[in-house]
C-alpha cells in the first residue's frame, strides 16, 4: 500500500496540540468567568483580593480566546501554542509563589491554597501537553 502524505497526516500529528489548546482554553474561560463574576464572593472564601480575581479573569478571557483561535485554525498557530507553554510555566511559578508567600502577600485561606494549588497543577499539565503536542506536530 502506498502511504500518502497530506493534511490527514498533519491533522493526526497535531491532534494532541489542538486538544491541549482547546482544553486549556475551555478551563481558562471557565476560570475567567468565575473570577470576573464571583470576585467579591470569592474574596472572603479564598483570602485573595477582588482586584486579583478581576485581573486574572480579564487576562484569562483574552488568553482563552487566543488558545481557541490557535487551536481551531486549519494549521495550528505554533507561536501561540509555544507562548502558551511559556505562560503556563510562568503561571505555575506564580501559583507556587502565592502559596509559599502565604499571609506575607495575602490573607489566603486553606481553601485559597487549594484553589491556587489546583490552578497551578492544571497549568503545569496543560503546558506539558502543549509542549508534547508541539513536538509531535513538527
Q: Is 61 helix (H, G, I), strand (E, B) or coil?
A: helix
Residue 1 lies in a domain: no
Residue 3 lies in a domain: no
pTM for the full predicted model: 0.85
Interacting residues of 131 by C-beta distance below 8 A, sequence separation 6+:
85
Residue 72 lies in a domain: yes
Residue pLDDT, tens place only, 103-115: 899 999 999 999 9
Residue pLDDT, tens place only, 78-123: 999 999 999 999 999 999 999 999 889 999 999 999 999 999 999 9
Residue 7 lies in a domain: no
Q: Is 48 helix (H, G, I), strand (E, B) or coil?
A: coil
Residue 99 lies in a domain: yes
Host domain of residue 112:
13-136
C-alpha cell belonging to residue 19: 486538544
User: What is the domain count for the chain?
Assistant: 1
Amino acid at each position: 500500500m502506498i502511504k500518502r502524505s497530506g493534511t490527514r497526516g498533519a491533522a493526526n500529528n497535531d491532534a494532541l496540540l489542538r486538544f491541549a489548546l482547546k482544553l486549556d482554553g475551555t478551563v481558562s474561560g471557565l476560570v475567567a468567568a468565575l473570577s470576573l463574576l464571583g470576585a467579591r464572593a470569592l474574596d472572603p472564601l479564598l483570602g485573595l483580593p477582588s482586584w486579583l480575581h478581576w485581573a486574572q479573569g480579564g487576562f484569562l478571557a483574552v488568553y482563552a480566546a487566543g488558545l481557541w483561535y490557535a487551536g481551531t485554525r486549519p494549521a495550528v498557530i505554533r507561536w501561540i501554542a509555544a507562548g502558551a507553554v511559556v505562560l503556563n510555566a510562568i503561571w505555575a511559578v506564580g501559583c507556587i509563589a502565592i502559596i509559599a508567600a502565604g499571609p506575607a502577600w495575602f490573607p489566603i485561606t486553606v481553601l485559597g491554597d487549594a484553589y491556587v494549588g489546583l490552578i497551578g497543577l492544571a497549568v503545569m499539565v496543560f503546558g506539558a501537553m502543549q509542549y508534547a503536542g508541539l513536538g509531535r506536530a513538527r
